[in-house]
Every structure is written in C-alpha cells, then in structure tokens.
Amino acid sequence: VSALELRAVWSPALKNVSALFGPGLHVVVGQDSDGADDLIALCAGVRVPRRGQLLLDGRPPSASPSARRRIASLLPSENPDRRSSVRAWLNEVGQLHGFDAGRSHAELLPDVKLERAVASLSGVELRRLALALALGQPEPLLVALHDPLAAAQGDASDAVLQRILELARQAIVIVTTPSLLDARRLGGGVHVLDRGVLARQAAHAWPGAVTPGLDVWLAVDCDSPRELLAELCKSPDVEQTSYDARRAPRRLQLRGPDLARLAIAVSRAAVAARVEIQLLQVAAEDLDSVRGATAGLANAAYRAVQDARRPGEAGGEGNSGAASGGAGGNSKAAT
C-alpha cells in the first residue's frame, strides 16, 4: 500500500509538519500563506524541505525521477515551455508519464485547440490544461492538486470532481483548497492547515466538524417567508432569524447551535405553515471561522492540561467541563 510520509517537514511556510497519508482523498483546507502551495510543491518534488523528510513509498520525490513520473500534480502557477504548441506540450509530458495526454485533454478541456501556441493561453487556460494533464494520468501513486475546483470552471468541475474521486480509490490524493465549499464538494477527511501547521483533522467539512462550538447559519428560500418565519419563531432550536424584504424577499436566514436540529426545525415549520421550500443552504464559513475554532480548541486543550496539573483540584469531570467550555467560549469569542 502506497504511503506519503511527512517527517518533521519545514519549508518557508510549513513548520514541523508530520503526517502520514494513505490511499484515498485528503483535503487540506488552508491558504497559500498557511503553506498550501508549499505542501503541493513538496509533494510534486519541485522543492526540497528545509528540514525533515517527505517520502513517497520511502523515496523523496525531489530526488527520484521514477517517483516523479508517478506523481500527478497541479501547482499554483504552471510554467511550461511557452514556445511550443499545446499538442507538443501534451505529447512530451505524456511521453514522460507514459500515457496519451491528448485524450485526457479532449475529455476535460475540449474547447482548447491543440494547434494553439502555449504562449497564447491565458493563465486560467494553462491551469486547466495542467489539471487535465494531471487527472489524465492512468495510474499515479500520488495526486497533489492545488485548488483544482477553482481551476476547473463551469461544467468541467463536475467531471474534475468525478475523476478526483475515481483516482482516490487507488492513489493518494491530496487536494489543497482555501474554500470550505469546495472541501464539502470533494468530501473525504479534512486537514486544517493553519499558519504552517496541520492544526487538526476533521471527519468532514461540515460545520459540526470544522467549526465545532460555533453556531450554524442556514439560508432558506421559500414561497412564503413570513409564514415560515412565524412558525420558526416557536422553535427552541432557532436562536436568531433574519429577513430582509427589500433585498431578498424570498430568503430567510436562521442561526442555531446544530445544523441537523436546525434543518429539522425548518422542515417541521414548513409542514406546519404549508410553505414550499425551494432552497436550503448552509452558509459557508470562512477560513477565519475555522481558525477561530482551531484556536478555541487548542486553548481549551491547554486549559484542560493546566487544570490537570494543578494539585488539589478535581480531575476528570472538571477538566472535561473546562475543555468543552473553553472550546465553545473561545471559538465564539474568536468569531
């Protein structure tokens, strides 16, 4: 079984990152300033760690051409030979990796003509083409993609998503993205990359996992928002409602502590008020909320450890109470 191992890796942005990634999809949520671009560059073998080791099946990608041939990558900025044509570029890369790159291009990017010069491609087209190349590899060991859903715009994003999930069945797929919405679309386990540190791991990218302790905002579009609002006010699971008749006459915004309970409350209220719901959407948290939640959790853990060290104080219950209270309190404060 293939494995990508990071042993105390340092780079300009990453700080002492250790992790073990097996086959499957791993979504890393973070911005380039957090080290997302460094992580992909290290995985692609175009950079060496300042300290520590990054090993793909025991070999560092930066020092093994055969390992790099089995790595499909999409960097933040792609810089191929700009003097050749798209066809020549695809052929040469395809030859190095041993696959027909023209076919993957046709599947994922049919609107770009093969006769065009690479220099005539825009930055967006270049990234899309590089994404098509990366996803076209038949049997990669590692797929490292920097914000692929942003690179694949429009209709192509569904095909890209499908191909990523397909690849994740056999290979290690690492995707970095600053968007929680994209992380939700991708699914899979989520790693939060915060200021160069893999701060925590969440089972999924929904609010309960990435922003524990923070309230959830739900947007509801319906045909009679006033009637729905009247019913929702009776529910104890709804903490706050917001309705702007001028700007969005069909939209309600609700806040509550738990997404599932909030959604059930909306369903019950809709049945009671006989309202037809057209859209139910969780408001996407931004990275700052995630960072706030991470800081809150870290603070709570720190307090719990401090409390446990203090002599003469109660252990078990008091500590866990402090931990949960700390997490909630701090994360709310951060928000």
Partner 1 sequence: MNGSFGQGWRDARQALGWLWPTVSTLAALTCIALAALLEARAGGTSTGTRPNELRLLEGATFGLVVPLTSFALTARLDGRLERILAAYWPRHGADRRAYALGRLALCCVMVCAIGILGASLALGASNASAEPVPGVALGLLTGFWALTWVAAQAALSYAACFGLAQLIAGSWGRALFLLGDWFLGSSLGIAALPWPRAHVRALLGGAPVLGMNPLQASLCLLVLTLLGVTLYAQRVPR
DSSP class of 33: G
- Taking the C-alpha atoms of residue 323 and residue 114, their distance in angstroms, rounded to an integer, is 58
106-115 long-range contacts, CB within 8 A, separation 24+: 107/132, 107/136, 107/159, 108/132, 108/135, 108/136, 108/152, 108/156, 108/159, 108/160, 108/163, 109/156, 112/86, 113/86, 114/85, 114/86, 114/87, 114/90, 115/85, 115/86, 115/87
* One of 1, 79, 122, 312 touching partner 1 (CB under 8 A): 79
By DSSP bridging, strand 277-282 and strand 216-222 are antiparallel
Q: Judged by CB under 8 A, how many residues of this single chain contact partner 1?
A: 23
For partner 1, which stretch binds (CB under 8 A), given 24-32, 68-76, 270-278, 302-310? 68-76
* One of 65, 123, 236, 312 touching partner 1 (CB under 8 A): 65
Residues paired with residue 17 on neighbouring β-strands, in sequence order: 9
Query: Which residues from 80-139 bind partner 1, rule CB under 8 A?
Result: 80-81, 83, 92-93, 96-97
Which of 48, 259 has the CB closer to partner 1? 48
* One of 8, 33, 53, 63 touching partner 1 (CB under 8 A): 63
Least CB distance from residue 334 to partner 1, whole Å? 36
**Stretch 1-40: interaction string toward partner 1, x if CB under 8 A:** ----------------------------------------
- Count other Cβ atoms within 10 Å, centred on residue 62: 17
Which of 97, 127 has the CB closer to partner 1? 97
| Using rule CB under 8 A, residue 202 touches partner 1 | no
- Taking the C-alpha atoms of residue 214 and residue 300, their distance in angstroms, rounded to an integer, is 14
Question: What residues line the site for partner 1 (CB under 8 A)?
Answer: 41, 44-48, 60, 62-66, 68-69, 73, 79-81, 83, 92-93, 96-97
